[in-house]
Amino acid sequence: MKKKITSLLVACVVGAAFFAGCKSSKDSGSRVNNRSADKNEVGAEVSNESVADAAEWSDDLDLSYEMKDGDGVQAANTGNADSVADAKKEMLVFRCTISLDTLNFEESVTALKTKIAEYHGFVERENQSDGNDSNGRYLLDEEDKDYYYTATIRIPSEYYESFVSAASGIGTLRSKNSTVDNVATRYGTLKSDLEIYEAEYDRYLKQYNETVNESIALDIQRELRDLAITISNIKTEMSMLESDVAYSYVTITIHKVSEKEIIEKVEEEEEEDNSFGARLSRTAKGSWNKLLGFLQGIVLFFVASWWVLLLLAIILGLIVFFTKRGIKKSNEKAEARRKELEAQQRESLAAYEAARQQANAQNQARYEENQAQIQARIAAQRAAEQAQAQAVASQVEVPQAEAPKAEEPSVEDPDTPSEEKTE
């Protein structure tokens, strides 16, 4: 909204200056000067906004580190001042992770919080578990409860070593890891980048104040806005590095243990024997205990998770049931399809057989008809031949009847058949 108002303000000023320039050149010069003054105000407003944002973030950061008592605030401020002064040479960020075992859990946690207040620190993050086992189940038996307290603490760097030493004595120290990071190079790079961006910001601001072209002025205004955001981000990161240098990180974990665990551990260390028989006995005993623990764990798991197993069994049964039913339906559909195909094949074969038989019958009828026609033709031909033969015979017999009976028969060749004689 501020950007839109600023753009409208600049547009109004340009319009007024242009209108005044049409009246007189002298008035135009005065309007341009007024507009330059307005642009100075706009540039100052943009700059003030970026500076105000950075200042607001810095104020919030300072408030987050504020202590409840006056001495703590004064000591923290003194530590910050010393850290900033030493930042010219080196900027060290201390980090430490401590793990403690204790028999008196509540007393140890209270003692830790007292030490934090004593060394003007504060708890950045904390997590406490009271009554859960390793599987996340809440236990009612006090002896079986597993108590944990984990906190990330910010301590002024000038009290870092003293606080770590004091906190390590709250319980039995199990582990301790510490690191130191030098962020001077990163801080110097950010500082150089900040100087470059601030110089570029001043250069753009000067151009913005001197330009008369509205389009160029809007482009410069966008550049000023981006530069202001970049400068604010760099200042934010520098402030975070300064806070890390001023306040070190200490992560402490307090674990409650029982006297039985400590006594058993001490007795095992005292009674440890390196002979083969002792080692074999310990190995067998340990293996048996592991087996018993494994079996007990299985039984307890089934007892504690019976409803989950029942639900899984129901779900699995439903899956198997619907799967089998689906397979059965699929098989039934396949069987019906197979039977349908077989019926279609049988119908096709029956139709083919009927067509074949019909074709054979037609062929047989045609064959018999052809044979009858052939026999009829043969009979007709034979009848014609017989008729012709009879006609010829009748023609031959008539002349013989008319011949004189006194004629002597001619001498015939005995080998000539009678039919030839007739002919």
Residues 6+ apart with CB under 8 A from 251: 95, 96, 97, 98, 150, 151, 152, 153
pLDDT at 303: 86
Give the max Cα distance, the chain: 194
In a domain, 3, yes or no: yes
Residue 156 lies in domain: 1-262
pLDDT at 260: 61
Sign of the Cα torsion 137, 138, 144, 149 reads positive
In a domain, 57, yes or no: yes
In a domain, 27, yes or no: yes
pLDDT at 55: 39
DSSP labels, 187-222: HHHHHHHHHHHHHHHHHHHHHHHH---HHHHHHHHH
In a domain, 140, yes or no: yes
In a domain, 322, yes or no: no
pLDDT at 399: 56
Q: Helical H runs in 24-168?
A: 25-64, 70-86, 105-118, 160-168
In a domain, 89, yes or no: yes
For the chain, the residue count is 423
> How far is Cα 360 from Cα 351, in angstroms, rounded to an integer?
14
3-state SS, residue 145: coil
In a domain, 315, yes or no: no
In a domain, 387, yes or no: no
For the chain, the domain total comes to 1
DSSP labels, 121-144: -EEEEEEEEEEE-TTS-B---GGG
Torsion region of 66: left, alpha or beta (phi above 0 gives left; psi -120 to 50 gives alpha): beta
Unique residue bearing structure tokens 């339906």: 329
Unique residue bearing structure tokens 């504690």: 304
pLDDT tens track of the chain, all 423 residues?
444 444 544 454 444 444 444 443 333 333 334 434 444 443 444 444 443 443 343 344 333 333 333 444 344 445 444 544 554 468 899 999 999 988 888 899 999 999 999 999 999 999 987 765 555 555 555 665 678 899 999 999 999 999 999 998 888 888 899 999 999 999 999 999 999 999 999 999 999 999 888 889 999 999 999 999 999 999 999 999 999 999 999 999 998 887 665 555 555 655 555 677 777 887 888 888 888 888 988 888 888 888 888 999 999 999 999 999 999 999 999 999 999 999 999 899 989 988 989 999 889 888 988 988 898 889 888 888 888 888 888 887 655 555 554 444 444 444 444 444 444
Strand order through the sheet with 172-182: 122-132, 146-156, 247-256, 92-102, 172-182
Residues 6+ apart with CB under 8 A from 158: 78, 79, 82, 83
pLDDT at 397: 65
